[in-house]
Structure 1
Amino acid sequence: MFQFVVFGLLFSAVAINASPAGAKRPGANDVNVASEARRLVHQANWASVATISSDPANPGYPNVNLLSTADSKVGADSTGEIFFYMMGVDKVARDVRKDNKISFMFTDAQEGECNKRNDDPWSHKCARTLISGQVKRLEEGTDEHKRGLEAFLSRHPTAAHWPHIPVPDHDFYLCKLDVTDVLVFTQFGYKHTTTQEYFAGTDAVNSVHA
């Protein structure tokens, strides 16, 4: 019996020393999910993307790649919009032509923030967001296309030359994600937010690229 009492006291002491006095363990509810998602999207110039494979070698399986992205011009405030170029011959574009559902993963690990804190990229202390939706090809000449192109070229100046590459099937076209779901992983948990909250619910986030 004495051994059990001692063990209990030791366990309690470890638990108390593991966190500041009076502090509760942080959880997903302690995070402004919409704001965190917007921050992660805004600071990034690229993202990992997941599509449904159209490759005959592995049809129907997840396919992972990356795309350059922009949500605003350099120095501008966060918009939450995700603009990106597609190229006809690219595997992502091939998958999207068959099924235009796509998911983007943005993470603090991209910016090196997690490494600075010695946090593993897989740890929920290393914030990340999974934003899913459908690919929308933007029509040239529209205000949306103009806004997206300005944002993208501001972040990726060399992209101005991409549409003029004289190679068959290298047809570049500007796209935007029609967001349907936003999921944030952070602080030992994960939580969804609505698209309405995502686009409307944050203070301005000034660009870290200014």
Structure 2
Amino acid sequence: MYQYVLIGVLFSAIAINASPAGGKRPGADDLNVAQEARRLVHQANWASVATISSDSANTGYPMVNLLSTADSKVGADSSGEIYFYMMGVDKVARDVRKDNKISFMFTDAQEGECNKRGDDPWSHKCARTLITGQVKRLEEGTDEHARGLEAFLSRHPTASHWPKIPVPDHDFYLCKLEVTDVMVFGQYGYRHATPAEYAAGTDAVNVANAIHA
């Protein structure tokens, strides 16, 4: 009889430790995907990007590169947009001309936040978002181009000189991502948000508490 009492106490202790005060352990269901994705995009000035390779040596394989990004001016609120420059001869530009699909990865590890907490970049406590979509080239002279350029140059001042580089095929042009899907990874899973949800960013749950608890 005594051993059954001990077993009951043990399982009760495990159950208590596995759940927070509210009785539910934070996980994928607690993620405020749109809000957290917007936070990660807003704090970053660059992103890892993946495209489908157009290179004859590795056609069809996913290729990873890096792009400087901006969603708003320094000190301004999040816009949800992802603005970036592309260049004609760049590998990313060549790939999207053939297959206009691209994915952007933003993570707290970029800002050193995970390292400060002692979390590995792959840890479930190190928040990251994968945002997929298509590249839209912004037409010069439009309000959209002006907003994007102002945001980008605020974060990357040296970019003002890029279009002036006198080298053939180095034609820089401003783009933005037309979002088709948003994923946020945190705790022990991931969840998706629609482009409309991401644009609104109005979810009520405080994701920072759920992910970094």
| Distance in structure 2 (CA, Å) of the matches to 1:195 and 1:187 | 23
| Shift in CA distance, 11/45, structure 1 to aligned 2, threshold 3 Å | same
Query: How do 1:20-59 and structure 2 match up within 5 A?
Result: 20-21=20-21, 23-59=23-59
Cα distance in 1 for partners of 2:111, 2:7 equals 43
Whether 1:94 aligns to 2:99 is no
Matches within 5 A, 1:64-103: 64-103=64-103
By how many angstroms is 1:25 displaced? 1.3
Seq. identity, % = 86
Per-residue CA shift, 1:128-159, capped at 9, x if unaligned? 11100000011111111111000000000000
Q: TM-score, normalised by structure 1?
A: 0.89
What amino acid does structure 2 have at the position aligned with 1:89?
Answer: V
Tell me, in whole angstroms, the C-alpha distance in 1 between the residues paired with 2:118 and 2:8.
31
CA contact under 8 A between 2:38 and 2:201: conserved in structure 1? Answer: no
Q: Map of 1:127-142 to 2, 5 A cutoff?
A: 127-142=127-142
**Which structure 1 residue ranges, 5 or more long, are not aligned?**
204-210
Give 3-state SS (helix, strand or coil) of 2:130's partner.
Answer: strand
Work out the CA distance in 2 between the residues paired with 1:118 and 1:99.
39
2:165 match: 165
Give the alignment's Cα RMSD to 1 decimal.
2.0
Structure 1's 4 and 65: CA in aligned 2 closer, same or farther, altered over 3 A?
A: farther
Q: For 2:122, what is the secondary structure of its paired residue? A: coil
Q: Is the 8 A contact 2:31 2:184 kept in 1?
A: no
Contact 2:74 2:154 in 1 (8 A): yes
**For 2:183, what is the secondary structure of its paired residue?**
strand
| Structure 2: stretches of 5+ with no match in the other structure | 204-213
SS of 1:196 mapped into structure 2: helix
